[in-house]
Each structure stands twice: as C-alpha cells, then as structure tokens.
Amino acid sequence: MDTIVAIATPPGEGGIGIIRLSGSKAVSISDRLFRGLSEKNLSGLEERKLNYGHIVNPTDKKIVDEVMAVYMKEPKTYTKEDVVEIHCHGGAISVRRILELVLSEGARLADRGEFTKRAFLNGRIDLSQAEAVIDLIKAKTDANFDMSLNQLEGSMTKKVRELQNELLSMIAHIEASIDFPDQDVEQITSEELKKTAKSVYSEIDTLIATSNTGRIIKEGVKTVILGKPNVGKSSLMNALMRENRAIVTDIPGTTRDIIEEYVNINGVPLRIIDTAGIRETDDLVEKIGVERAKEVLRDADLAIVVFDCSKEFESEDLAIISLVKDKPAIVLFNKTDLESKLREEDIAKMLKGKHIITTSMLEGKGIDRLEEKLREMFLSSEVEIGEDPVVTNARQKDLLIKAKENIQDALDALNMEMPVDCIEVDIKGCWENLGFITGDSIGEDIIDKIFKNFCIGK
C-alpha cells in the first residue's frame, strides 16, 4: 500500500493542526523531515510518545515549524499500518507547508475517508460498522469526485485545459504516426516535440509559481445565489453585506471569472460565489447558461434560490428547481410586498425538504429569518464546509509538480533520442496528472482525436 497523508484537524483557525500519514513509508518520510533534540530523527526516538522537534525543509535546510510528532508502528494503529502524526501550529500556512513537504517526499494525498477505508480493509473496524463505513466513504468520495471537476477556478482551469489540449494534440499525432505508418501522416519531428514540451514545461512552472504566491485562502460555506433576472438577488447580496462586514476578494490569477465575497453571518462563514458578477448582470442562469450554473453548483455547499412571487411560474423556474434538487438549499419567496402570483405550496411540492422563507428585500423583511436558518443549518451539519481549500491547493500543486516531472522526463528522453513511443509515455503521464486536476480521463479521446485530425484508413 502506498503512503497517504491528510490534514487531520478540521479546516479553520485552530491552535494546532495535525498532519497524519499512514503506510509503509510513513516513518521514513517523516525521518527525512523531522529533527528532534540532539539531531535525532523520529524513528530514533521513543515510539508512541509525542516528541518535540522541528520540521526542516530537506532542500534548503530551513526550519518550517516547531512541532510535536509521534510515530506508531503497525499493526496497533488506526489503519493497522505505520502511522505518523505531526502536530504543528494551527492556521493554513504551517499546515500547508508541511503537507507539501510530505507530498514531495513521496506520500500521496489521501482520498476522502481513505484512512477509515484502510482501517476497515485491514480488519481494524468491526464488521457491524461496514455499512456506516460505506456511507462515509461514499459520501466523501462522491463529494471528492465532484470536487475534482471544479477544483481550479476560472482562468486557472482554462489554462490547465489548454495545456491538456496541446498535449493531446501531440499524443494524437504520435499515435497516428505509430498506428498508421504508411498512411501519409506527416511525421512529427523531435524538434517540434521539444518545442511544445518546453512551452508546456514553462507554463506548468508558472502555474506552480502562482500557487505559491500568498493567496488568501479563506474557508467558508461555498454558497451560490440562483434566480431569474430581477428577482432580488442583488438586493439580497447587498442586504447580507450591509449588515455583515464583507470582504471582497478578487482571486489572483483569475481575470473576472469569479469573485468571492466572504461574509460572516451569526458566526457562519459564507463564501458567496459571485460568478461573472451576480450584482451586475443579475441573471446567473441566463448569462452563463445552465451548464455553467451546474458546474458552479456542483462545487457549492449551499444554494440560495430566489423566486419573485409577484411573477407567474416560468420554465426557467423549473430549470432552477431541477438544478438544486439534490443540494442543500434555502428557497426565498421574495417581493411579498407585491401581489402574489406564485403559490408557496406549489414550489414546496417540487422542492421537498427545502427550507422556504418569505422575504421582502424592499421592506427589509425576512433577512433575519434567513440568517437564523443559515446558523441552524450549519450547527446541525445540514450544510458543511467542503474540502479545505488548503488541501485543494496542496493537491493541485502536487499534481502540477508531477506533471512537470513528466514533461521533464519527456524532454530528457528527447535529448537522449529515445524512440517516440517512449517519449509518448511521459507526455501521456503529464496529461493524466493534469487530468486529475480537471477531472478528465484520457480513454477514447486519443482515438477520437486521431480520426478527427488525420485522414487515415485504407
């Protein structure tokens, strides 16, 4: 089994943060990072005791953080594998740096619920709990699966996709020339390959550098406000922000795709995703299209759906309803100050189990009830903060680094004049690592591209 790592403490500002490793290399990886008193490494100290020491970056020998660490040899551990816990200072920066070092030493970021899965598969957890384990892992991996599709925001995703396309064209060209050698396919020269590989290399390098710049990462319930034009979405935003101090952050590296507004409501941190500016255009669904709205929603923890009850029910309303059916959501019946043409019961029937609140933004009515409901849902875990952005960021960076190594290998192989089918292995590896970021897998894509781009066949 490979060695996995995760942040064991919940996201947010805490006094300490714990990074946990499990697997056969857990101890050896930690040994390369941990310096205890008298320069001892972790395995040189007593097992199952918290030991004082420092995490030192093996490359520049600089101290990263002052920590307490413990190692536990298999089988008497949670996963029945070797387990290491590193207790460092809380807050995103220290936790993230240590996580990144552990990854660069060869661990893999754990999938959600993977520690528990291993515990079960290794016989640690009682059989009677099997169903609970299935539920836990399913819920978490499903979320994870969806997350991966939308981990990077805006222009970042676009950039990665562009790189994937460049790589795919290279792969398809190589494959076409391999599988159809006498078919008039122009041979791709190693000069062309080198040129593209170099440009991909430097693009990935830039992306890695961007992920290092001190981007402000804030946690919060990722919230999307949905509704037709002029139902009162902008008034809602303004109301939430007037009463609660909002921080507007333009995420570096993105153009104007996504702006996030952080609002703290009754102690509930919200990350309101303002896609292409809800306030300016006032019509998320129409402006960006149902497909994009779906994408944004997939990544969201909560949807707030706004209906204008002074208007007749329309097909767009139906589209919105079907989008949020499976999401935690609050439904607002706005404009109660006007004559009502929409019946609450009808909507309630279509959105079973969703909370409905009547509001009048104009008269400032109902906002307090909305805020109270948000708090209630948060405390009862009906909505939860999705994957810790620190982890998301570390995952992306780790994959980008791997992709960079792949393309470096391809360049080395090109310089060694290795045959093109060997070089293709590394180019494909690069594509696949980028694919883990965007959630794409290669499969039939190559073959489709071959037949699309090349006139092939007998």
Partner 1 sequence: MSKAIEFFAGEYDIIVVGAGHAGCEAAIAAAKMGKETLILTMSLDAVALLACNPSIGGTGKGHLVKEIDALGGEMGLNIDRTMIQSRMLNTSKGPAVHSLRAQADKFEYQNKMKYRLEDQEKLDLRQGEVTEILVEDGVARGVKTRTGATYRAGAVVIATGTYLKGRIFIGELNYEGGPNGFFPSTELSDNLRSIGFEMRRFKTGTPARIHSKSVDFSKTEAQHGDEEIIPFSFMTDELDMEQIPCYLTYTNEKTHQIILDNIGRSPMYAGDMESVGPRYCPSIEDKVVRFTDKKRHQVFIEPEGRETAEMYVQGMSTTLPEDVLLEMMRSVEGLENVKIMRGAYAIEYDCIDPTQLKLSLESRAVENLFFSGQINGTSGYEEAASQGLLAGINAVLKLEEKEPLVLDRSEAYIGVLIDDLVTKGTEEPYRMMTSRSEYRLTLRQDNADLRLTEKGYSVGLVSQERYRRYLEKKSSIEDEMERLKNHKLTPSAEVNEYLKSIGTTPLKTPTSMYDFIKRPEVSYDMLAGIDMERPELKKEVRMQVEIQIKYDGYIKKQTIQIGQFRKLEHKKLSEEIDYSEIKGLRLEARQKLNDIKPESVGQASRISGVSPADINVLLIYLEQQNRNRSGRE
Site residues (vs partner 1, CB under 8 A): 111, 113, 117, 120-121, 123, 127, 130-131, 133-135, 137-138, 141-142, 144-145, 175, 177-184, 416-422, 425, 446-447, 450-451, 455-458
Instruction: Give the other-Cβ count within 10 Å of 14's Cβ.
Output: 13
Q: Which is nearer to partner 1, 345 or 444 (CB)?
A: 444
CB of 177 to partner 1, least distance (A): 8
CB of 103 to partner 1, least distance (A): 19
Helix (H) or strand (E) holding 187: none
Instruction: Report in angstroms the alpha-carbon separations of 388 from 64, 95, 120, 285, 436.
Output: 21, 11, 24, 27, 17
3-state DSSP assignment of residue 415: helix
Helix (H) or strand (E) holding 329: strand 329-334
CB of 81 to partner 1, least distance (A): 15
Q: Which is nearer to partner 1, 75 or 123 (CB)?
A: 123
Q: Which is nearer to partner 1, 133 or 400 (CB)?
A: 133
CB of 410 to partner 1, least distance (A): 12
Distance between CA atoms of residues 201 and 427, nearest Å: 11
Q: Which is nearer to partner 1, 388 or 424 (CB)?
A: 424
- Secondary structure in 3-state letters for 348-370: HHHCCCCEEEECECCCCECHHHH
Which segments of 62-110 does DSSP mark as H helices, in order? Answer: 92-104
Q: Which is nearer to partner 1, 132 or 379 (CB)?
A: 132
Q: Which is nearer to partner 1, 88 or 171 (CB)?
A: 171
Cβ–Cβ under 8 Å, residues 13 and 219? no
| Of 147, 196, 143, 155, residue with least CA distance to 431 | 196
CB of 141 to partner 1, least distance (A): 4
CB of 415 to partner 1, least distance (A): 9
Which segments of 244-283 does DSSP mark as H helices, in order? Answer: 278-281
CB of 419 to partner 1, least distance (A): 3
Q: In the 8-state DSSP scheme, what is residue 339?
A: P
Provide Rg for the chain, Cα atoms.
Answer: 26
What separation, in Å, do the N-terminal and C-terminal C-alpha atoms of the chain show?
47
CB of 127 to partner 1, least distance (A): 5
Q: Which is nearer to partner 1, 29 or 413 (CB)?
A: 413
CB of 307 to partner 1, least distance (A): 30
**Opening angle at CA 300, ends 296 and 306, nearest 5:** 80
Q: Which residues, 6 or more positions from 127, have their beta carbon under 8 angstroms from its beta carbon?
A: none
Residue 95 φ then ψ, to 5°:
-60, -45
Q: Which is nearer to partner 1, 121 or 209 (CB)?
A: 121
CB of 375 to partner 1, least distance (A): 31
Q: Which is nearer to partner 1, 272 or 414 (CB)?
A: 414
Instruction: Give the other-Cβ count within 10 Å of 380's Cβ.
Output: 8
CB of 47 to partner 1, least distance (A): 28
Amino acid at 169: S
3-state DSSP assignment of residue 455: coil
Distance between CA atoms of residues 196 and 189, nearest Å: 11
Beta bridge partners of 365: 360
Q: Which is nearer to partner 1, 120 or 378 (CB)?
A: 120
Q: Would you say how long the chain is, in residues?
A: 458
Cβ–Cβ under 8 Å, residues 73 and 82? yes
Q: Which is nearer to partner 1, 50 or 134 (CB)?
A: 134
